[in-house]
Amino acid sequence: MTLFEAVLLLVGGGFAGAVNAMAGGGSMLTVPLLVLAGVPGVAANGSNRVGILTSNVSSLMSFRNEGVRVTHNLIPIVAPALVGSLVGSYGVSELIGDESFERIFGLLMIPLILLTVVKPKVRATEQAWPLAVTLGVFFAIGVYAGAIQAGVGLVLLAALSRSGIDLVSANMIKVIFTFCATCIALPVFILQGDVRWVPALVLAVGLSVGGWVGARFAVRGGEKWIRVVMVIAAIALAIRLIVG
């Protein structure tokens, strides 16, 4: 890894970590950045999880320091996520090659970018789903988190809008969900040999710092300015992955 690639991952990781803490979608940036740094597609997907894990720990600590507490029952959300993440991470490691993954990821970024522009609203007046529906929805999101992960925070906010949870609490629940899913997915990628540790750790430093800062912005409502830059960067990286 060159000095330029290290700086790219460090700075890009910091920006993406802030995005992840505030709404989600940072992996739309970090996975393509890892590919640009010479990491093959599936390994970039696995290596990204190291930074996601450390970033979520940093974000949780920052939320806690800001006085945010979650009083909702998280078992129907987290439990299916753990099972789904195991299924998704094992499936993507076994069934998809590097070039195919890169193009799939690039194409998938298009609807995720649209979801970033039209941000899901969390409304406390929404009626919650029945338990069976909740388990099924968060299992499906867990499968996606284990396989791809990018944009899972955006999808989670859309799902949590049906649970009567305020935006700050929903952001913290999103971080908890992603942390738990990553704890299951990362060992699968490690056992499959799909983690490149040097770029993964450099990216993790940036993500952790960005996650800490982003959580503070999320609590204080300072997230709007970062969204335009993220969308522009994500479009450019999506084109890079699709074209090859």
Of the ranges 45-59, 173-187, 207-221, which one carries the lowest mean pLDDT score? Answer: 207-221
Domain that holds residue 170: 3-67+74-243
Amino acid, res. 19: V
Q: What is the pLDDT of residues 71-96, one digit of tens each?
A: 778 888 889 999 999 999 999 988 88
What pTM, to 2 d.p., does this model score?
Answer: 0.83
Q: Which of 176, 207, 194 is nearest to 47 (CA)?
A: 194
Spatial contact of 167 and 122, defined as CB atoms under 8 Å apart:
yes
Three-state SS at 40: coil
Give dist(CA 193, CA 62) in Å, integer: 32
pLDDT value at residue 122: 54
Band (221; pLDDT cuts 50, 70, 90):
low
SS3 breakdown of the chain: % helix, strand, coil, rounded to 5?
80, 0, 20
Q: How many residues does the chain have?
A: 244
Residue 107 has pLDDT above 80, yes or no: yes
Give dist(CA 240, CA 244) in Å, integer: 6
Residue 219 has pLDDT above 70, yes or no: no
Q: What is the pLDDT of residues 38-48, one digit of tens each?
A: 999 999 999 99
Give dist(CA 81, CA 90) in Å, integer: 14
Distance of CA 14 to the CA centre of its chain: 14
Spatial contact of 53 and 190, defined as CB atoms under 8 Å apart:
no
- Comparing 117 with 42, the larger pLDDT belongs to 42
Residue 125 has pLDDT above 60, yes or no: no
Mean pLDDT of 142-147: 94
pLDDT value at residue 226: 66
DSSP 8-class letter at 24? S
pLDDT value at residue 171: 76
- CA distances in angstroms from 125 to 133, 163, 232, 241, listed in the order given: 18, 9, 33, 40
Cβ neighbours of 107 (radius 10 Å): 12
Give the total number of structural domains in the chain. 1
Kindly give the interhelix angle for 41-65 and 197-220, rounded to the nearest 10 degrees.
40
Mean pLDDT of 93-119: 85
Distance of CA 54 to the CA centre of its chain: 12
